[in-house]
Amino acid sequence: MPHPTLPSPARRQLLAAASLTTAAVATAAVATGAAAPALAATAQAGKQAPGAGKAALVTGSSRGIGAATVRRLAQDGYAVTVNYLRSRDLAERVAADIRAAGGRAIVVQADVSDPAAVRRLFDATEKAHGGVDVVVSNAGIMRLAPFGDMSDTDFDEMMAVNVKGSFNVLREAARRVRDHGRIIALSSSITRMRTPTYGPYAASKGAQDLYASVLAKELAGRMVSVNAIAPGVVNTPLFTDGKTPEQIAGFAQRTPHRRLGEPEDIANTIAALCATDGWWVSGQTVFANGGIV
């Protein structure tokens, strides 16, 4: 009797053939030197869009990193679910743009800190798209204060969304993402930068690293890759609100490229992990931060 979580012999053969093909292309590219880019481009041209026939759900995708991610995944062919808490108009605009470009998108309001709402979010996704292949647990909030000044309310709200909310999303993803899927949780490079006032927020983001590394192992045998993405300083209200232009410029100067990250920089990294060739990266925290740490 085959182990229920291991690939069948037939599937293992298919996987072995697929990795041989990839290896053969890589070897040929190295061998031909200057011709390599052309070969890679040809191989690329023959590929299907990575999201063709698949569905992606991105929490907190009315704006910021989530909106850029859902737009990018739609460009890659995924049918997408745009989720928001309060910004209905922004979420509807993201979906309208995707549909205008020929994509498929639904909009679902759900507070990720509410487990029942998260179940409804997944139900709506499965009903509209026939299943779910990619889940990005992106919704998050940030409250900053030195330890001595942090209020119980700010601490509790942040943990409810970032720690419990992401757990609610990842639990549902673990139950529902189809084989060969991807699950990604938004961490932060603050887990390494450790800037004053960021203590509880950094702890809530460190939880994402642990969630991803453990869940990757729990889903062994289903070809589902699970990772955390750790952006650095990204040009969204979450980062810029409450900071002076000088403080923002100071953070930008700390990056080797002397600029903040843009939401699209993070969306592109997420898309790379979701692409067929990205699947071997699993259980990791990927620091997409332009080199700030």
Ligand X SMILES: NC(=O)c1ccc[n+]([C@@H]2O[C@H](COP(=O)([O-])OP(=O)(O)OC[C@H]3O[C@@H](n4cnc5c(N)ncnc54)[C@H](OP(=O)(O)O)[C@@H]3O)[C@@H](O)[C@H]2O)c1
- Interaction between residue 77 and ligand X (CB under 6 A): no
Query: What are the beta bridge partners of residue 57?
Result: 81, 135
Select which of 84, 198, 201, 211 is catalytic: 201
Strand order in the sheet with 225-231: 105-109, 79-84, 55-58, 134-137, 182-186, 225-231, 285-288
Is position 51 an interface residue for ligand X (rule: CB under 6 A)? no
Q: Which stretch binds ligand X (CB under 6 A): 10-18, 136-144, 171-179, 192-200?
A: 136-144
Taking CB under 6 A as the criterion, the residue among 50, 56, 58, 60 binding ligand X is 60
Q: What residues numbered 183-202 form the site for ligand X, per CB under 6 A? A: 186, 188
Phi then psi for residue 228, to 5 deg, are -105, 145
Does 285 participate in binding ligand X (rule CB under 6 A)?
no
CA distance 37 to 129: 36
Binding to ligand X by CB under 6 A, coded x per residue (else -) over 231-270, reads: x-xx-xxxx-------------------------------
Among residues 56, 73, 74, 85, the one that binds ligand X under rule CB under 6 A: 85
Residue appearing with tokens 């179940």: 119
Residue nearer to ligand X on the CB measure, 85 or 274: 85
When the beta carbons of 90 and 150 are compared against ligand X, the nearer one is 90
Q: Say if CB 60 and CB 66 are below 8 A apart.
A: yes
**Using CA atoms, how far apart are residues 28 and 22, in angstroms rounded to an integer?**
10
136 counts as binding ligand X under rule CB under 6 A:
no
Active site residue 201: yes
Number of chain residues interacting with ligand X (CB under 6 A) = 33
Rg over alpha carbons for the chain, rounded to the nearest Å, is 20
Rounded CA gap, 145 and 276, in Å? Answer: 41
Length of the chain: 293
Q: How is residue 48 annotated by DSSP? A: P
209 binds ligand X (CB under 6 A): no
Would you name the residues annotated as active-site residues? 201
| Binding interface with ligand X (CB under 6 A) | 59-66, 83-87, 90, 111-113, 138-142, 161, 165, 186, 188, 231, 233-234, 236-239
